[in-house]
Amino acid sequence: MHEVSIMMSIIDTALDVAKQNDAQKITKITVEIGEKAGVVKDALEFAFETVTKETIATQANFEIITIPFKGQCISCDHIFTGDNYLVCDKCGNLGKMITGNELRIKSIEVDECV
């Protein structure tokens, strides 16, 4: 379950940010995850519970924003969406992924009061 290691690095970053800001508590963490990033949302939420235990992020809200897939054809530049994400629905050539592979922290909210 690689969601746990993903979550650990997210929390590491969040704790660093909190420290730099002298925060006593992390109140919210928002991440953006592409729908083709290969991350299971439920597993990530479960990992969040586990990884934040006994940290200042334990009561934080965790929000996942899903970024929809978008592909662009390498031969005709047509932009397409959909499940068959490597094939252009216009000319049938191969496409490349423009969005949908994201895995990043969008925002971290902290509370400076105890």
Cα 68 to Cα 34, 55, 58: the distances in Å are 6, 32, 29
Looking at the DSSP bridge assignments, the partners of residue 33 are 66, 103
Beta carbon of residue 35, minimum distance to Zn ion (angstroms, whole number): 21
Q: Among residues 28 and 90, whose Cβ is nearest to Zn ion?
A: 90
Residue 47 · residue 55 · CB < 8 Å: no
Of residues 8 and 91, the one with the C-beta less far from Zn ion: 91
Q: Closest separation between CB of residue 37 and Zn ion, Å?
A: 24
85 C-beta neighbours (distance < 10 Å), count: 17
Looking at the Cβ atoms of 96 and 104, the one nearer to Zn ion is 96
| Chain contacts with Zn ion (rule: CB under 5 A) | 73, 76, 78, 88, 90-91, 93
Q: What is the DSSP letter of 69?
A: P
Rounded to the nearest whole angstrom, what is the least distance from the CB of residue 78 to Zn ion in the complex?
A: 4
